[in-house]
Structure 1
Amino acid sequence: MAALAVAGVASAQSSVTLFGVVDASISGYSSTSRDLTLPAPLNQGSVKISQRALANSGYNSSRLGFRGTEDLGGGLAASFWLEAPVSNDDGAKGVADFTRRSTVSLSGGFGEVRLGRDYTPTFWNDTVFDPFGTNGVGSNLINTANGYNVLTEGAKDTGGFGGNMNYARASNSIGYFLPPNLGGFYGQVMYGFGEKTKYSPGLSTPDVENSQRQGRYVGGRFGYANGPLDVALAYGSSTVGDDYYLGTTNKVNTLNLGASYDFGPVKLFGEISQAKSKTDFENRTFSAANTDTKLSGYLIGVTVPVGAGLIRASYSSVKYNENQILAPFELADPDPKANKIALGYVHNLSKRTALYATIARVSNKNDAALKVGGPGFLSNGIFTPKTSTGYDFGIRHAF
């Protein structure tokens, strides 16, 4: 009877697909820090921390998923998508969760309404307009600095820039996508619930931080893709903290613009981005200090088809505006900044299988500590992060 019930459910679907990617690479990482102490006799030189590993997701993120669509008639369709991260290098992570994507949707001539966990609109520009697709050591610095971690296939558990845990994906979300027949125009909006408990009257609210608004996300992305041109603008606001009785709400607001143009022999990519970590006050005094910080960045990239292969290259740069609070006549420290250059080649053995190689280098200045992956910089109050280099040599198979 159980088998018949499962068969009955399956037969009601117009289509059900098992899909996935298995991507493995031999990767190396090296992070160098230097002692800037003067005079020279006290200088301890530099120290390097390196690692060589069998990694995953150097070209495409390893995953296993199930998706299906049922034709409801009258132009309506119901769909589901469940996608789990896979760590095929050690087998430790499989179909234990569907944190990459878990959605159910209803679509038709009006567009698509999608419910569940999904990519945020602001993340799409970071990955679509990156020749390396925000994967491996070549991933652009906008992505790295905002908090993406390929080792966990999503935003860092502790949050990215400003504590943003909704950088790449948002849970408990409602999304709407425009229909595809708008002459090249496309767009989406998303609202993610914080799912906090509310109290009435308000004075019954417990005096606990992050109990009322944290976790909420609202954003949208609109663009135009026709022929060789693709351009999109996105904005999102993620609530990263709150204090009900102090009357404060902490947010990370992100605005980015990305574009690509395919000339045929070469395809160009570009993006500019700014994320602002800010605090909203219910009752702000005139003399209160402005503690908002910013993260600005840009990316330029290129892909060049060569027979069955593809050359990829990019240059990205980010700068932090820490908005330092200074005493009278005190000089501000230079704001941290970093730049990155990446170069890679993909050789397609078939439509589903490819070999790839990527090398990359990050240069940090003024205490920035961004890296290509692997172990972090030595941090003991003496050495300052400087450069991070890395490589990926791997194979990707999709099914």
Structure 2
Amino acid sequence: MKKSLVALAALAVAGVASAQSSVTLFGVVDASISGYSSTSRDLNGATFLNPFYVNKGSVKASRTALANSGYNSSRLGFRGTEDLGGGLAASFWLEAPITNDDGQEGIATFARRSTVSLSGGFGELRLGRDYTATFWNDTVFDPFGTNGVGTNLIFSSSAQLGAFGTPAASTGAASNVGSSNYVRASNMVAYFLPPNLGGFYGQVQYGFHEKTKYSPGLATPDVANSQRQGRYVGGRFGYANGPLDVALAYGSSTVGDDFYDGTTTKTNTLNLGASYDFGPVKLFGEVSRVKNKVDYETQQFGFIGRPDVDVTGYLLGVTVPVGAGLIRASYSAVKYDNNQPEVLFEPRLADPKANKLAIGYVHNLSKRTALYATVARISNKNGAALTVGGPAFVTSGGFTPKNSTGYDFGIRHAF
């Protein structure tokens, strides 16, 4: 009986394999020794009201870790394509994040990508969880690919504004897919242009919030962030031909709402990125503007709502091939505009801003294995608190975030 069951299982697997044009197991295992330090300083001094104040100097929070994903994100995935004939093809992509430094997270969730699609001469229709259109510019035009301590500040600051007001609880060690739409969005319907358009490419995406709608509206439960939070709309269009690649992207994510207060909070992102490969050197650049805004359904005379928060930023980067290796460097800067209202007799606080310098080297031992090293430093001003990773700044006791430094020394193996 057992032999018969084994034979039937083998026949079933063989039938699936024969119907499938290709099925691929792939992944990346990336580990690094990484160090992080965040220094805060006491910028206060003696005043007329407190002439005996003693400045506390600085305080540093640091950490050394065996980390993962310093060069490429560690992952494990399966993808496959079936030729349906007539130019049509069906495909799937299931990709899971893994934490190979401690083994805590494995294939517990396909949170990186989980899609099924139909493609042909018309392009591709893709359903499921995937990268957002606006994130593509942040990572494609960053020499460090938004990985490790070298990750650009455009991404770091924008991801903070894209967080949901009431994130869903994580389940065990599985990645939380319900806390942000900045990098990836769930429940999406996406359309991608076909690849035969002379270098032009593009995509449009719509992610359902999957909240319950009530009719009449007054039947809606009085629970914040339960009606529209989680919706995403975005698109990206570009041109890549020879050494040039340039793309413009826009996305809008609903990060909060309250039916009875008549408010909807959105994070809108607009960015433009480009790269040009001269051969001996490849240049990268990106400019970005992110707005976190609250829309009010009703406004009465004298009403003052929460001001919008705007973040503008830019990135300049370069890669230089050197034998079997690659030198990488980037400079990024962001500035926040909290749109503070003018208050009589009160000085307007300076807007937070930060800049970052990162440099690294990748040495390819083979097509699949590489050693890498990266160092980076962030300078924060006027209350900005961006870090390269690791511990947060100490802000209690009158301390203000200042500098964050970090390094990654690691190995990456892809299969």
1:50 corresponding residue in structure 2: 62
SS at match of 1:363: strand
The TM-score, its normalising length taken from structure 1, stands at 0.95
- Shift of the alpha carbon at 1:265? 0.6
Distance apart, 1:381 and its partner CA: 3.7
Quick check: 1:285 aligned with 2:300? yes
One-letter amino acid matched to 1:34: R
Work out whether 1:69 is the aligned partner of 2:69.
no
Q: Match of 2:385?
A: 369
Inter-partner Cα distance in structure 2 for 1:351 and 1:157 = 42
Offset at residue 18 of structure 1 (A): 0.1
* Residue 40 of structure 2, aligned match among 33, 36, 41: 33
Q: Hey, what does 1:294 align to over in structure 2?
A: 310
Q: C-alpha offsets along residues 37-84 of structure 1, whole Å, 9 cap, x if unaligned? A: 202961011111111111100000000000000000000000000000
TM-score when normalising by structure 2: 0.91
Tell me the distance in 2 between the aligned counterparts of 1:332 and 1:271. Answer: 30
Deviations 1:260-297 (Å, cap 9, x if unpaired)?
A: 00111100000000110111122223533351110111
Out of 258, 262, 267, the residue aligned to residue 247 of structure 1 is: 262
Distance 1:83 1:231 in 2: 27
8 A contact 1:147–1:156 mirrored in 2: no
Aligned with residue 78 of structure 1, among 90, 108, 118:
90
Q: Tell me the residue number matched to 1:199.
A: 214
Amino acid at match of 1:132: F
- Aligned 8 A contact 1:221 1:232 in 2: yes
Please point out which of 108, 127, 131 is paired with 1:115. Answer: 127
User: Mind listing any 5+ residue stretches in structure 2 that lack a counterpart?
Assistant: 1-7, 47-51, 168-177
Paired residue secondary structure (2:64): strand
Matched, 1:178 2:190: no
What is the SS of the residue equivalent to 1:147?
Answer: helix
Aligned length: 392
Contact 2:166–2:225, Cα closer than 8 Å, also in 1: no
Matched, 1:231 2:246: yes
Instruction: Note the 1:213-228 alignment, pairs <5 A.
Output: 213-228=228-243
- Give the whole-Å Cα distance in 2 for the aligned partners of 1:246 and 1:157: 15
The answer on 1:340 being equivalent to 2:359 is no
Partner of 2:366: 350
Correspondence for 1:379: 395
Structure 1: segments with no counterpart, 5+ residues: 149-153
Contact 2:164-2:256 at 8 Å conserved across structures: no
Compared CA separation, residues 255 and 164, structure 1 to 2 (3 A)? farther
Question: How big is each residue's C-alpha offset from its partner over 1:92-121, in whole Å with a ceiling of 9 and x where there is no partner?
Answer: 111110000000000000000000000000
Query: What do you get for the CA RMSD once the two structures are aligned?
Result: 1.9
In structure 2, what is the equivalent of residue 9 of structure 1?
16
Percent of paired sites with the same residue: 78
Q: CA deviation at 1:164?
A: 7.3
Aligned-partner residue type, residue 305 of structure 1? P
Question: Displacement, 1:382?
Answer: 1.3
SS in 1 for 2:100: coil
Instruction: Show the counterpart of 1:20.
Output: 27
Local SS of the residue matching 2:136: helix
Q: Decide which of 71, 87, 95 is 2:99's aligned counterpart.
A: 87
How far apart, CA to CA, are the structure 2 residues paired with 1:27 and 1:110?
A: 46
- 1:128 equivalenced with 2:140 (yes/no): yes
Report deviation, 1:125.
Answer: 0.2
Give the Cα separation in 1 of the matches to 2:301 and 2:268.
23
Bigger radius of gyration: 2
Which one-letter code corresponds to 2:19 in the other structure? A
CA contact (8 A) 1:68 1:80 kept: yes
